[in-house]
Amino acid sequence: MTVFVAVAEEESFAGGARRLRMSPPAVTRAIAALEERLSVKLLNRTTRFVRATDAGQRYLDDCRRIISEIDEADEATAGINAEPRGHLTITAPVLFGRMFITSGIVDYLQRYPSMDVSALFLDRVVNLLEEGVDVGIRIGELPDSSMKAIRVGSMRRVLCASPAYLAQHGIPQQPSDLAQHCIVTASSVSPVIEWKFGHDLQTTVRIKPRLTVTSNDSAIEAILQDFGITRLLSYQVAHYLASGQLKTVLSDYEPRALPIHVLHREGRYSSAKVRTFIDLIVAKLRANTALN
């Protein structure tokens, strides 16, 4: 099962072999023996990729769950003070991961030399169970799920601009004033977008940006060069607000703050590798004034 999970996740026999520090022929034999025992084709193989079949995908989900429970049982038997060892997969939004999670991962790896970490920094909702992720950082309200969630802070959706831009073009006093300003948006798929304002999002303003970029970093760079107003999450510009390089506008019209949670898959046992990482990252995030 461990070999199958590695090959399926890497989408490569060679990649699975490298991950497990096994020879490629040994990995190929293991998968062939597994498929022969089950009498089911688990992987589609071409010269360009290896991907799980429909039956293989279902088996992959079961394998991840079973292996996770076995690891947790081993750790519980070894004792609560056992040294964390093995592999941990973590996910977070791209900019949030770079700003707040990477340093925590490095700290964790320095404390626990028997651990390896894969960090998936993606600006999309990652299904922890389906994608084999141990811990996720999620921004926003959470749907009902079987995941264990620990709240670590909150953030606001803020409009901001440089002092020089505001001095030249004036400070908007209400959302409708934005029609008279140069607007920068990140990752918009439409030339015209709608921004909602107010605690209960009761006010909607249609926005036609002059500049649309594909990353928050680029939007920040544009307004630092005195080019308009953009809307971002407060953590993304906390440093620039603190230094005075940027200022917020329309603060009285901000929507309700968004919660930040650390999520993990809850098992029968408390996995040492998951427990120690969560303890570290929760303390680190809760202590950060930009998030609280």
Q: Is residue 276 part of a domain?
A: yes
Q: Give per-residue pLDDT as tens, 107-120.
A: 999 999 989 999 99
- Indicate whether 161 and 249 sit together in one domain: yes
Pairing of strands 43-45, 86-92: unpaired
Residue type, position 87, single letter: H
Position 131 scores a pLDDT of: 77
Range with the poorest average pLDDT among 133-142, 261-270, 283-292: 261-270
User: Strands, DSSP E only, in the chain?
Assistant: 43-45, 50-52, 86-92, 115-121, 135-139, 148-155, 157-161, 183-186, 193-197, 203-207, 211-213, 229-233, 247-249, 258-264
- The number of distinct structural domains making up the chain is 3
- Indicate whether 215 and 164 sit together in one domain: yes
3-state secondary structure of 143: coil
Q: Is the pLDDT of residue 161 over 90?
A: yes
- Indicate whether 135 and 276 sit together in one domain: yes
Q: Is the pLDDT of residue 147 over 80?
A: no
- Indicate whether 141 and 166 sit together in one domain: no
Residue type, position 152, single letter: V
- Residue 105's domain spans which residues? 87-150+264-292
Residue 276 belongs to domain with CATH number:
3.40.190.10
Going by C-alpha positions, the residue among 70, 82, 84 that lies closest to residue 113 is 84
Residue 221 belongs to domain with CATH number:
3.40.190.290
Domain end point (choices 34, 53, 82): 82
> What are the residues facing 205 on neighbouring strands?
195
Q: Please, what is the average pLDDT of the chain?
A: 88
Residue 21 belongs to domain with CATH number:
1.10.10.10
Q: Is residue 258 part of a domain?
A: no
- Indicate whether 140 and 274 sit together in one domain: yes
DSSP 8-state symbol, 248: E
Q: Is residue 108 part of a domain?
A: yes
Classify residue 63 as exposed, middle or buried by CB count within 10 Å of its CB (0-12, 13-18, 19+).
buried
Helix 272-286 to helix 54-78 angle (10° resolution) is 90
- Indicate whether 135 and 268 sit together in one domain: yes
Domain end point (choices 56, 82, 108): 82
- Indicate whether 143 and 278 sit together in one domain: yes
What does pTM read for this prediction?
0.68
- Indicate whether 177 and 47 sit together in one domain: no
DSSP 8-state symbol, 82: P
Q: What is the DSSP string of 207-226?
A: E--SEEESSHHHHHHHHHTT
- Indicate whether 271 and 219 sit together in one domain: no
Domain end point (choices 44, 59, 82): 82
Q: Give per-residue pLDDT as tens, 57-99.
A: 999 989 988 887 787 777 667 665 667 888 899 999 988 999 9
Q: Predicted confidence band at 269 (pLDDT cuts at 50, 70, 90)? A: very low
Sign of CA dihedral 268, 271, 276, 277: negative
Sign of CA dihedral 218, 219, 220, 224: positive
Q: Predicted confidence band at 240 (pLDDT cuts at 50, 70, 90)? A: very high
- Indicate whether 137 and 280 sit together in one domain: yes
Q: Count of H helices and E strands in the chain?
A: 10, 14
Q: Give per-residue pLDDT as tens, 14-54.
A: 999 998 999 999 999 999 999 999 999 999 988 778 999 99
Q: Give per-residue pLDDT as tens, 186-198.
A: 875 555 688 889 8
- Indicate whether 277 and 237 sit together in one domain: no
Q: Is residue 178 part of a domain?
A: yes
Q: Give per-residue pLDDT as tens, 121-146.
A: 988 888 777 777 889 999 988 876 66
- Indicate whether 107 and 173 sit together in one domain: no
pLDDT over 70 for what percent of the chain?
93
Q: Is residue 259 part of a domain?
A: no
Dig out the tokens for 280 from the structure: 């570290």
Q: Are 7 and 27 in contact (CB under 8 A)?
A: yes
Torsion angle of the four alpha carbons 273, 279, 283, 284, in this order, in degrees rounded to the nearest 10: 0
